Amino acid sequence: MRVVTRRDLLRYAGAAAASFVVRSSEAAGAPTVTMLYWNHFVPSFIPLLNRQVEQWARSRGVNARVDYISLPDMPARLAAEAQARTGHDIIQLSQWNAQLFRQELLPVDDVVADLDKQWGPFREPGRYLSFAEGHWYAVPWHFWSDTATINTSYWRQIGYATDNVAALGWEELAAAGARLRDAGHPVGVAVSQTGDANDGLYPLLWSFGGRTVDERGEVVIDSRETADSIEFVKTKLFPVMPREVLGWNDASNNQEMLSGVISWTPNPPSIWAVAHLRSLPIERDLDQVPMPRGPKGRFRSAYGVGLGIWRFSPRAQLAKDLVRYLLAKPQSDQQVEASLGYNEPFLAQCAANPFWKRLPVFRYYEPPKETVRVPGWPGPASKGAALTYNLFTLPLMYAKAVTGQMTTSQAIKWAEGELKKAYGKG
């Protein structure tokens, strides 16, 4: 069973320090293709990416370099580059950024077609995020998504095996949550102004049949289904959770899980990965299960990463070539391993990777049992969705209702107003 060992990590990491600073010196005077990517938290991924990029560069007789930036800083960075019309050739376009920056991006239909033919098809929500008005503005690379990380020992205490937990619906989860709370290990999902809150509550809303907008972007949040979901959170789920969830940030649930405080939380695999990488004793108690079923389906929230090329990049052809290279299956397979299974490729054939079968903790991560969607679905993946997400409209709606600041219908009406403003309808 080839799990990344600490020694591997040290080896990777040693190369990382060097590769951060070394620029390919062989092809002096040749163009340098630059790429912007996020600071992946799995230490082994970055040196692998650097290596792959360098291999490609050497084979083409050019230079290439990847720069890393923290995820929250990405929007500012992209904004600055778009504004100044200078920056990296290839940029990571997460979520709605492909459509937000559409006007400054080079259409990449040809690259998408090539990859589709070789390794396709592209899974959803790849096309949803990257395709608009007849063109592809990003090449969907990989995503990560929120299953629920659980502490199996606490669930066992109340008589649930992992596969039982995997079959739970929301109502049953809340009921079990009450017992877990009494045992001192509550469940927790963020109801605060943070990404985790969006990523946990959108699937909840969807699974109750609620939608923020419809396919055309019309605001449809005011519905019986939405009200049902709010009532559920207000009367069944929130009371069994620690009150702190109202102030959680993205790392809060990780830390509470790693310290044995909570027993269930929606999150990408970072919790398990950290326990594994830092050899924390709690690792053996961690597992991942699908998000709970609702009356109208079972959903999971995804964070999509695509690669785009600025329209003003003088090295567009080279950039496209690098993108093709990085998304090809041989490279993709290495990336899945090096990211500890965190990165789920959009290309179907790349997603057929035995890695996730090898580690039991990933058996529910890939392939997903839930319907994988991006917040803002089914409306267009652009400005309105981004604004709503970044202003945390949905979590705020729930927060206002559960804290009693507003009644359920008031909260819905408030959210409706905010959504209309975001989608430019009022």
Partner 1 sequence: MRKRRRRVRVLVYVGLLPFVLFAVLPFYWMAVTSVKTDAETYDLRAVPFVIRHGVTWAHYAFLVQQTPFLLWYRNTVIVSLLATLGSATVAVLAAYSIVRIRFPGSDPVALGTFLTYLVPPTLLFVPLSEVVGRLHLIDSYWALVLTYPTFIVPLCTWLLIGYFRSIPTELEDSALVDGATRLGALVRIVLPVAVPGVLTTVLLGFTLSWGNLIYPLAFTASTPQKVLTVGLLTELVRGDVFYWGSLMAGALLASVPVVVAYSFFTSYFVSGWTAGATKG
Partner 2 sequence: MGPHVRVPAPALGAAVAAVPAGRLRRAEARLGYMMVAPAVVLLALLIAYPFLMSLYMSLTDQHVGTPGRFVGLANFGYLLRDDVFRQTALNSILYTVVAVAAKTVLGIVLALLLYAVPWGGRFIRAVILLPWVIPTALSTLAWWWMYTPPYSVVNWLLVHGGVVRGPVPWLSDPLWARVAIILVNVWRGLPFYAITILAGLVAIPRELFEAAEADGAGPGVQFWAIILPLLRPILSIVVLYSVVFTIADFEIVFILTRGGPLNMTHLFSTLAFQVGLVSTYIGRGAAITLFIFPVLAVASFLILRIVRAGEEYA
Determine if 211 is a binding residue for partner 1 (CB under 8 A): no
Least distance from partner 1 to the Cβ atom of residue 130, Å: 21
**Pairwise CA distance, residues 142 & 306, whole Å:** 7
CB 391 within 8 A of CB 397: no
Q: Which stretch binds partner 2 (CB under 8 A): 5-13, 24-32, 52-60, 95-103?
A: 95-103
Handedness of CA 178, 182, 188, 190 (dihedral sign): positive
CB atoms within 10 A of CB 255: 14
Chain residues 378-397 in contact with partner 2, contact rule CB under 8 A = 383, 386-387, 390-392, 396
Shortest gap between Cβ of 313 and partner 2 (angstroms)? 14
Residue 17, H or E segment: helix 6-21
Contact 257, 149 (CB under 8 A): yes
Question: How many residues make contact with partner 2 (CB under 8 A)?
Answer: 35
> Is residue 244 close enough to count as binding partner 2 by CB under 8 A?
yes
Q: Does residue 199 contact residue 301 with C-beta atoms inside 8 Å? A: yes
Pick one of 199, 256, 287, 416: the residue that binds partner 2 (CB under 8 A).
256
32 binds, among partner 2, partner 1, none (CB under 5 to 8 A by kind): none
What is the SS3 assignment for 311? coil
Q: How far is CA 224 from CA 189, 230, 290, 413, in A?
A: 23, 10, 25, 13
According to the binding rule CB under 8 A, does residue 193 interact with partner 2? yes
Among 53, 88, 365, 387, indicate the residue that binds partner 1 (CB under 8 A): 88
CA distance 136 to 109: 5
By the rule CB under 8 A, 151 interacts with partner 1: no
Answer yes or no whether residue 40 interacts with partner 1 by CB under 8 A.
yes
Q: Is 401 in the site for partner 1 (CB under 8 A)?
A: no
Out of 8, 116, 172, 250, the only residue in the binding site for partner 1 (CB under 8 A) is 250
**Per CB under 8 A, does 86 bind partner 1?**
yes
Q: CB-wise, 114 or 256, nearer to partner 2?
A: 256
239 forms part of the interface with partner 2 (CB under 8 A): no
Contacts of 322 (CB under 8 A, 6+ apart): 33, 35, 53, 56, 64, 90
| The two structure tokens encoding residue 162 | 């992992």
Q: Alpha helices of 27-169 — where are they, by DSSP H?
A: 45-60, 74-84, 97-100, 109-119, 126-130, 152-157, 162-166
Rounded to a whole number of angstroms, the minimum distance from the CB of residue 391 to partner 2 is 7
Choose among partner 1, partner 2, none what residue 192 binds, the Cβ cut-off being 5 to 8 Å by kind. partner 2
Give Cα separations from 286 to 55, 256, 282, 283 (angstroms).
37, 13, 7, 5
Q: In terms of Cα–Cα distance, which of 195, 368, 182 is closest to 288?
A: 368
* Interacting span for partner 2 (CB under 8 A) from 100-108, 176-184, 218-226, 228-236: 100-108
Please report, as residue ranges, which positions from 259 to 318 form the binding site for partner 1 (by CB under 8 A): 259-261, 267-268, 270, 273-274, 278-282
Where along the sequence are the contacts to partner 1 (CB under 8 A)? 13-14, 16-17, 20-21, 36, 38-41, 43, 65, 67-71, 73, 76-77, 79-81, 83-88, 196, 250-251, 253-255, 258-261, 267-268, 270, 273-274, 278-282
